[in-house]
Amino acid sequence: MGNFIKIIVVENKFEADLVSQALQEEGIPVMVKGFSDTAYDGLYIPQKGWAAIMVPEEFKALGEKVVNEFEGAFRKRGEVGNKVKK
């Protein structure tokens, strides 16, 4: 497996768990890189997001497809806001 690259930034653990599970169900390895910093007690989370969801480079296209489908499905239901960043 190659280097891991960021495909989406999520706002909280709940979103991280949902996105990670959707990717893993498609057979995509996932790494969640949190942005929490104990020295600042989460001060920068509203600016940077809660965590980056990362996948190996060779899974980038499939990972982005899964994330786009995930966002579309949950936006229709009103369960994910517009704060999900890429």
Question: Residue 37's pLDDT is what?
Answer: 62
Cα–Cα distance, 48 to 13 (Å, whole number): 14
Question: By the 8 A CB rule, do 71 and 2 touch?
Answer: no
Domains of the chain: 4-77 (3.30.70)
| Nearest alpha carbon to residue 66 among 4, 21, 9 | 21
Question: By the 8 A CB rule, do 24 and 75 touch?
Answer: no
Give me the tens of pLDDT residue by residue for the chain, a chain 86 residues long: 679 999 999 988 999 999 999 999 999 999 999 877 655 655 555 656 789 999 999 999 999 999 999 888 776 665 554 444 45
Q: Helices (H), strands (E): how many in the chain?
A: 3, 3
Question: Residue 38's pLDDT is what?
Answer: 58
Is the model's pTM score more than 0.85? no
Question: Residue 84's pLDDT is what?
Answer: 47
Q: Which two tokens stand for residue 8?
A: 């989406």
- Report CA-CA distances (Å) from 81 to 2, 40, 55, 78: 32, 25, 23, 7
